[in-house]
Structure 1
């Protein structure tokens, strides 16, 4: 055992065992409502663009009114509510209202295409949805296409749609004052369904319980949220959920910044004298590539936390020089385990993801033999935690593939740990491309490209990019000219993906035509070789 309480027992790396913070309620909704009632005058949210504020009392009043309306529409415990919006003052309120009723909310990314919405709606079959003005029509079209009958409420105003501001005026003061949460049987019941992407290309719903979220509250999280941290994570990311919930549990104030832009971010830090910021590696890369860090007084900033992908050594070195008074901490996590798995300390080794968090276990397994490996041996990382997902929602086969009979979650990440218990991520067994902290499925893009008659075979991988993490690049084997009237061009394929898919899936790395794709004897594409080809393209 080292000084942090981390042990290695039979080749299993174990974090320090720490009792979880006890809560007086079973339901996450009950905890949130109790906190809002207890601190009515406290400012709960600040709009970073307009400066408008909501107190805890306003948040309680508006979220309870929303819950009363939802209940009158027949929403029952266990029903699903889809929620899709950029960060705004009202966004948290239907989330809280859903939890008050013992129902489940499913946050969706505003960048999803109609086909993305259709896929998730078929999985979760929500009874109602709360969306922003931008996605309302696209979402309604998806609901119609999937033949799901639901009420769609707009957080704003769009002709022909129910408006959030209107539905929360239908309740009496007495109803609001006397409101009580719907009890749930167990804190192990599902509270939230998070979207993720898998190696097969199909998004899955990660079902997280009330307990999994409540157990995320610990002193390190409390310290960060009490600094009124600058966090750009949307609700569709696990960090967005954690900060939304933990701010209320920790009796703190949450800042809702506008969409990330280098100068805007630095201006907010200077104006509000912020001490902490949570920024993905691609956002940090954009900051150091700009001159924004030199134009503003960032002396208040003491801590920068990053996660979601690898923070390059060059970006980190530049940050250290440009913001020398701020410590830089990198963490590693997964939605399936409820969030953060490991985090760096001031003494962490270069390239590591830090040490395993309290109450987590890790073992490294040979992906070919399932043999448990030891220190400095490279294999797939398997995890156990008390905050792990219940399952993939309505997908027992995917759940069985991810979690074995002993309860170990197979991460799909390739890595190792050293004699001090520090974790190093080397590669991904899973094929996901990381674009600006988003997971992009190569299979999704490949399916669209294969719909073109001029494409015989295709493999899509990520090519490293200094700012955006990775850009999707397609290696295409053309259909023989004698079969088609003319050979497909790079521009045609780039435009095909751009018109049919979400912006994050565009072929920003371009298209390269090849005579054949490298394959295994069993005719599977060797993606490791494709990645080498992509890197070679980048360096030429």
Structure 2
């Protein structure tokens, strides 16, 4: 039998996300909805609601309507919320784009999503206009106070400032948007392949807001710091949608800056913090944490990638006044399938318990047989937060979503006898050493415990004798005085060897400056594998 949520029940869907935020804003009035971290500027809930209405009206007047797609290519900023919710209120779909993307990558997502409007910031206007002209985007909206650069204004083609867009009275009637209409179109690789547009409906978003909210239990007394980027599902849902639907104040960070991170938590008395594992490591060990008053933190949640039990314990030890836990899900589950509890956090190493209204199975990937407690297999999920499908990719949708609504996550894990869910690794990332399975995430969590290791990633490389062997890329922690100092790869390998079975031993260590990761902290394993293969190739002979 599937495992089901024990967090109570929540109403599934039957509403739109912008209407959910409007209803909360009407009760909040002048209380702060969002704070710009760098400048300290504040936007109230009443002002946010007004701006959403004005954005919706401005877009509608310019021909944007039901089913149209608006792309947001910008860092975390207060205007993200007004534009995204305004586009949804006008009947449209929002696709967020990584502001670090190149013009080529931007054009790829614009074309794939079918975006007709692109909202961006002044430094990106030139690339935005070029990509827009190549992909059929008819208009570029420039966010921020300045309204764009001089070149863009001089060209004048398809360019409008956000101030001009919202200059009307904002009284255009709200579009009639059914809950099963697509509202958000983030991009994900799913279990395999190139990024695909994930069609998330209003019903998906609203269900997820209620599910996540039942565990985090945010209120108007809470403040959260938006570390995860809004273009990513974790940032959009956990750091924006859930807080705004709960009356919580959202403090924005346009980019991650460590001193500013600790300073903003202290200055704004942040109570709920959702961050990826690399930031958890900083919370556990960085000395700057000791030079700030972080006693306001009541809950610290890790998401985006697995977090080792020891690192979770280290964070909990440093912040004994806060519940510490993990959550797990995918873009295809509208961020979550399991979650922590506001008071209890999660069992160390566990990603929490199944969300309300959600069913979870552990399935033998070879036989399709359902497995029981403490048996390891592929995790399957079913619930109101599961995506509608991939945009224009029925083949890819059928590979991951069966006719009964079960989503094959591609994650390997198990559920213990108490209902705690543990995610071990991605099935496709498992390393086969002499027919034994080795989970890279297990070794990465172990390496994170080494006193000299700041970050690490493990991949498998071909080996004539064993088929594959695990090797590690390691970022060293700064020693006293700021230098990394000397390190011995052999010492690190021996340290790991003392703690694992022989087939799990790391066969090589390469020291690097940075581990390639997504903005949410998820390891870019394919890129790392290619880097390691190149590093392993013999240098060409000279002469």
Q: Normalization by structure 2: what TM-score? A: 0.75
2:36 equivalent in structure 1: 47
CA offset at residue 475 of structure 1? 6.3
Q: Give the aligned partner of residue 136 of structure 2.
A: 148
Deviating more after overlay: 265-274 vs 228-237: 265-274
Offset from partner CA, 1:357-407 (integer Å, 9 cap, x none): 211111111212212222222211111011111111121111111101111
Matched residue, 1:527:
none
Secondary structure of the corresponding residue to residue 76 of structure 2: coil
Distance 1:112 1:265, change over 3 A: same
From 402, 410, 413, give the equivalent of 1:404. 402
Q: Match of 2:322?
A: 326
Aligned to 1:512: 535
Tell me whether 1:29 sits opposite 2:25 in the alignment: no
Per the TM alignment, residue 48 of structure 1 is displaced from its structure 2 partner at its CA by 1.5
Task: Map 1:117-136; keep pairs closer than 5 Å.
Answer: 117-136=106-125
Distance 1:432 1:65 in 2: 50
Task: Kindly report which structure 2 residues correspond to 1:201-220, keeping only aligned pairs within 5 A, or say none.
Answer: 201-215=193-207, 216-217=209-210, 218-220=213-215
CA distance in 2, matches of 1:302, 1:66: 35
Matches within 5 A, 1:364-379: 364-379=362-377
* Map of 2:184 onto structure 1: 192
Distance 1:471 1:117 in 2: 28
For residues 482-529 of structure 1, the C-alpha deviation after alignment (integer angstroms, 9 at most, x for no partner) is xxxxxxxxxxxx9xxx9xxxx9967596533359xxxxxxxxxxxxxx
Give matches, 1:414-493, under 5 Å. Answer: 414-431=412-429, 464=444, 466=448
Secondary structure at the residue paired with 1:83?
Answer: strand
Residue matched to 2:357: 359
Q: Does residue 1:63 correspond to 2:52, yes or no? A: yes
Offset of 1:127 from its aligned partner? Answer: 1.0
Distance between the aligned counterparts of 1:235 and 1:225, measured in 2? 21
Aligned pairs, number:
448
Q: Does 1:101 align with 2:94?
A: no
Structure 2 distance, partners of 1:427, 1:300, is 33
CA distance 1:468–1:365, shift in 2 (3 Å)? farther
Q: What is the deviation of 1:37?
A: 4.3
Matched residue, 1:238: 233
SS in 2 for 1:315: helix
Structure 2: unaligned runs, 5 residues or longer: 154-158, 432-439, 464-511, 539-543
2:4 maps to 1:14: yes
1:324 to 1:19, Cα distance in 2 relative to 1, 3 A = closer
Aligned to 1:227: 222
**Cα deviation 1:42-74 (Å, max 9, x = unaligned):** 221111211101122322333322222211221
Match of 1:388 among 381, 386, 391: 386
What is the SS of the residue equivalent to 2:79? coil
SS in 2 for 1:340: coil
Secondary structure, aligned partner of 1:78: coil
Change (3 A) 1:28 1:47: same
Question: How far apart in 2 are the matches of 1:17 and 1:303?
Answer: 17
Which residue of structure 2 aligns with residue 288 of structure 1? Answer: 284
Aligned equivalent of 1:269, options 241, 265, 269: 265
Structure 1 residue 432 displacement after superposition: 11
Distance 1:88-1:344 versus aligned 2 partners, 3 A rule = closer
SS in 2 for 1:223: coil
- 1:114-143 Cα offsets, whole Å, 9 max, x none, are 333233223211110101234333333333
Which residue of structure 2 lines up, in the alignment, with residue 168 of structure 1? 165
Deviation at 1:103, TM superposition (A): 0.9
Q: Secondary structure at the match of 2:336?
A: strand
Larger CA deviation: 159-168 vs 147-156: 159-168
Q: Separation in 1 of the partners of 2:162 and 2:334?
A: 32
Please tell me whether the aligned partners of residues 263 and 292 of structure 2 are also in contact (alpha carbons under 8 angstroms).
yes
Give the direction of change, closer, same or farther, for the CA distance of 1:355–1:199 in structure 2 (3 Å limit): closer
CA distance in 2, matches of 1:268, 1:403: 41
Once residues 345 and 250 of structure 2 are traced to their aligned partners in structure 1, the CA distance between those partners, rounded to angstroms, is 30
Distance (whole Å) between structure 1 residues aligned to residue 121 and residue 309 of structure 2: 38
For residue 442 of structure 1, what is the aligned residue in structure 2?
none
How far residue 113 of structure 1 moved from its aligned partner, in angstroms, is 2.7
Range moving further from structure 2, 419-428 or 255-264: 255-264
Instruction: Answer yes or no: is 1:182 the counterpart of 2:182.
Output: no
State how far apart, in whole Å, the 1-side matches of 2:430 and 2:331 are: 14
Compared CA separation, residues 311 and 224, structure 1 to 2 (3 A): farther
- Call closer, same or farther: CA 1:128–1:294 in 2, change over 3 Å: same
Q: Secondary structure at the match of 1:91?
A: helix
TM-score, structure 1 length as denominator?
0.75
